[in-house]
Chains A and B, each alone.
Chain A
Amino acid sequence: MDMNAISRSVAKLARLELSEEEVTTFSDQLKQVLTYIDQLQSVPESSLGAPLYHPLELPTLLREDQAKTPQLDSEGRPSMLSAASQTDGLIGTAYKVPPIL
């Protein structure tokens, strides 16, 4: 397993930019952790059953989908927008991002 190559490819998937120094450091640390985690492969297949994704395994609860009047901030916009960058993050009540194409 070329850990440096894996770190670079996984960083790309996770939208993380790593310096070469970070790639080396993280790769060494991740290799150490993965070596430890590999003990999971020693659990006998015969003892394994269905995976447990959540401790309670309850049916999904749904609530009524009700529209609520949004709270407004001091500038009269929905307050959920107020955490966006105030200098460059909004156009009216829309989020502003760099071009995607």
Chain B
Amino acid sequence: MKKIQSIAEVHDGFDNKAFTPLELAQEYLGRIHASQLNAFLTVSEEKAIFQAKKATAELMKWGRVPREAQPLFGIPFGLKDNLVTQGLRTTCGSRILENYVPPYSATVVERVEKAGAVILGKLNMDEFAMGSSNENSAFGPVQHPTHPGYVPGGSSGGSASAVAAGLCVAALGSDTGGSIRLPASFCGVTGVKPTYGRVSRYGLVAFASSLDQIGPLTNSVRDSATVLDVISGADPMDSTSIQGVSEKYVAGLSAPMDWSKVRIGIPKEYFVSGVQAEVAASMQDAIKWFEKQGAQCVSVTLPHTSYAVSVYYVVAVSEASSNLARFDGVRFGVRPEGLSSSQGDLLSFYKQVRTRFGDEVKRRILLGTFALSSGYSDQYYQKACQVRRLIQQDFTAAFEKVDFILGPVAPTTAFKLGEKSQDPLQMYLNDIFTIPANLAGLPALSVPCGKDSAGLPIGLHLAGRLYSDSELIRIADAFERRA
């Protein structure tokens, strides 16, 4: 079977009886078992076959795909392993949750299953989503889908690599500082971080609660829109999910674009030395294309961009040190062998359990605990939150002049495995262009826009105003279909 590129292609195949949902699931499970990418941590073969048989029976009964009621009907689907799945192991890429089988499912998991998705399994990731290269997974790094020896980006590296390699048709990831957009860019797929609160975080293992957002990784913007239609919307189980507002992402794609009303901001701070020449050239090509359509591309300034990484690495680690305090080995998680509830004291029990965290997680817990500690919290946490407001205000001012902000997803294309893993600061700086959207809560996405001379994909980053997800999807869809 050739590589399927879209949800529509799957549904047409079902309607034309080219294959059944069961045959398709079996094909994808076969590919996963044969793959050397290390993209999947757990393959839910039994569940997938059960769901695919059910879909096959329904298709027989109805004669055609119920696209309206089940937009993801029979779609081979992958879930980042920080989304809890009832009865299906959820490791978060960590030894501390190596054996964790959750008693409930995340809201997004329930929604994609209700929409007909066939869950193939759980996708590899940096431990607790802390990383930009997927090298921090306790279960080994994920390989780049087309360039062996290169990283797929992180932390949703398994999701991006699996979609790009045709191991699933669509996947969910999570984005705290670029964890959907960076791997999407490195692997040449589409990745969307919705406005904060668009998608319920209930059942997402928390990293940094004021930044985390779940979103899709797919082969096209349209497929991302389909997944967003399914997963977006208020959820009583997440008090930060936005109430009331409901958007129709796919329906919005059919309206023609009025380019004369589109204003795109090019921040001068995003086009600086350190950006790979081919990445910068690719951005210029994109700008020219938008101008040719009739959009206005104007220079804007986001003066506090250079502080974004600093703000992020105080705010995110502070929230993480607090969120990860719950991993105490009592209610869930692995206890080191020989550790007993009857011996020793509780404090040494906690310390023993928490030795199972990997180095990057320990580093961030230490940094976060320090930034929140007495005597230092004013200098670090409070100051970072004050500068966070300046970064948000930069965007507010820019969005008075323009509708979208355009730039590269990352300064470079994918780098080699091991190239930056010994230098945490260099790794952190990789997220300079994606982090600001999380700090300000804005919707932002990565859409493929070319390749460098080595054939590695380049991603175009587009961000919009709060709640402008629908418009952002429309402009990205138009750009993607430019050829």
Interface residues of A (CB under 8 A from B): 6-7, 10-11, 13-18, 22, 26, 29-30, 32-34, 36-37, 39-41, 43, 47-56, 58, 60-63, 71, 73, 79-80, 82-85, 88-89, 95-100
Interface residues of B (CB under 8 A from A): 100-104, 196-197, 210-211, 236, 239-240, 242-243, 304, 306-307, 309-311, 313-314, 321, 325, 328-333, 335, 340-352, 354-355, 357, 362-363, 365-367, 369-370, 373, 379-380, 382-390, 392, 424-425, 428, 439-441, 466
Whether B365 pairs with A14 at a CB distance below 8 angstroms is yes
5 more contacts with CB within 8 A, not counting A16-B354, A30-B367, are A36-B309, A43-B383, A47-B390, A80-B331, A88-B340
Note all chain B residues with C-beta closer than 8 A to A99.
345-346
The chain B residue with its CB closest to the CB of A15 is: B350
Which of A29, A32, A41, A58 counts the most B-chain CB atoms under 10 A from its CB? A29
Whether A30 pairs with B370 at a CB distance below 8 angstroms is yes
Note all chain B residues with C-beta closer than 8 A to A26.
362-363, 366
- Give chain B nearest CB distance to A80 CB in angstroms: 5
Note all chain A residues with C-beta closer than 8 A to B346.
97-100
- Give chain B nearest CB distance to A14 CB in angstroms: 4
Whether B389 pairs with A55 at a CB distance below 8 angstroms is no
CA distance A88 to B332 in the complex (A): 12
Note all chain B residues with C-beta closer than 8 A to A49.
386, 389
Quick one: which of A10, A29, A55, A61 contacts B239, CB cutoff 8 A? A61
Note all chain A residues with C-beta closer than 8 A to B306.
39
The chain A residue with its CB closest to the CB of B241 is: A61
- Give chain B nearest CB distance to A83 CB in angstroms: 4
Quick one: which of A39, A79, A88, A98 contacts B344, CB cutoff 8 A? A98
- Give chain A nearest CB distance to B300 CB in angstroms: 19
Whether B243 pairs with A56 at a CB distance below 8 angstroms is no
Note all chain B residues with C-beta closer than 8 A to A56.
196-197, 240, 242, 441, 466
The chain B residue with its CB closest to the CB of A48 is: B386
Whether A88 pairs with B335 at a CB distance below 8 angstroms is yes
- Give chain B nearest CB distance to A87 CB in angstroms: 9
